[in-house]
Amino acid sequence: MHALETEIRKKLLSMKDAQYAQFQRKLMPTVDPARVIGVRIPDIRRLAKAYYGTEESKSFLAALPHALYDEDNLHGALLDRIPDFDTAIHEVERFLPYIDNWATCDSFMPAVFKKNKEKLLEIIEKLGIKIKTFQASLYIKEGEEISKFLAFIGASMAVLKFEEIRVIRDMRNNVNRLVNCETANLNKT
């Protein structure tokens, strides 16, 4: 671990909230609980504001993957501050394969994307991904379209996890349907 990573980790550890960490762990059962230290997003954003534009932030953004979930959130908060659209796209593409949970994905949205919605939508639509937009958010409903989008952004681990969840859900639904049918048939006799 580099001195910078140690310094940032010490800062994050000084902001940890044990109760919040417990709460977050329950929301993200697929994330190793040891990776979650429980730093609240407003604190992470303040830290990103203090670090952004420094050599430390550039080194931190270059150091992927991060060991902690909270470091991933700090990475996203730093990406939020990038003013150049092309740089933001490049950095988001580099970071996305390392995102392994919905909370980190939901916690950042570079402001430059909101200012350049049309350019962002063009990139997404070129991939043939059907989307509906609501303000600066994307809405993708169909499972197949979600998989395509995750694959496009390079989130291969997320695609595999998403597909695994879809298969398990479909299997459970089929089992429930069969049990309900059998129960109904038994009640008729």
In whole angstroms, what is the distance from residue 41 CA to residue 77 CA?
9
pLDDT in tens, 120-135: 888 878 767 777 665 5
Q: What is the band of 148 on the pLDDT scale with cuts at 50, 70, 90? A: confident
Express as a percent the part of the chain with pLDDT over 90: 39
Please tell me whether the overall predicted TM-score, pTM, comes out greater than 0.95 for this model: no
Question: How far apart (Å, rounded) are the C-alpha atoms in residues 178 and 172?
Answer: 10
Residue 160 tokens, joined: 């595999």
Contact 118, 61 (CB under 8 A): no
